[in-house]
Structure 1
């Protein structure tokens, strides 16, 4: 008796028509989904789609055309407290009321999420993932 393996899948290189490639790359630049999600939906490797995007950027740079900037980190805005605001010490009074204002505000795609002090990190992560999925 001999052992053999059966490989399933494409088994060969796919040849993507340039129109289809352009459509997939444009979809990845739209910003509604992550590049990986677009690649997954089209049965592509994310690295292949990143390579196509890089090639497009290079072609555009050679022609003097500028593509939209890839969104990166957003700036954090820290609001200074007024000078006359009371300074808190390390000890907390049991009768002290917590502020009604949120500790963190996130704005993602025109949706504002206000996170209060002591919120569960798992819930926060789930909310952020849900917002990302709706983009």
Structure 2
């Protein structure tokens, strides 16, 4: 048996809707950070061995915001990143000497840090060399 098509008005539901634009996301409230809070967060982020992302998560702020605060503080002169005492220290590089015997091709590397010497071949992994240098520096 086949049912007859219904054409009565009671079979249709009327939905009332209010049109709105969804072209952009809803506005979020912007947080205002005091100068003391920014300074405290920057101090924690600039501590030796600190992870900026971890510090940002701890304070519920994005890492990009912390980097922006740091950049602004450096540009304004409020913050000098490399300091020893009260005087800024210019970043410097270690002197490098390249020695070759009779035009021979270099097959290894010798790094002298203080009274320690690290000798490695050309096949050493960069990560291993980095760890060795850090260990010698911290000793």
Same topology, TM > 0.5:
no
Please give the TM-score of this superposition, normalised by the length of structure 2.
0.44
Higher relative contact order (Cα pairs below 8 Å, separated by 6+ residues): 1
Higher strand share: 2
Please give the TM-score of this superposition, normalised by the length of structure 1.
0.45
Structure of greater Rg: 2
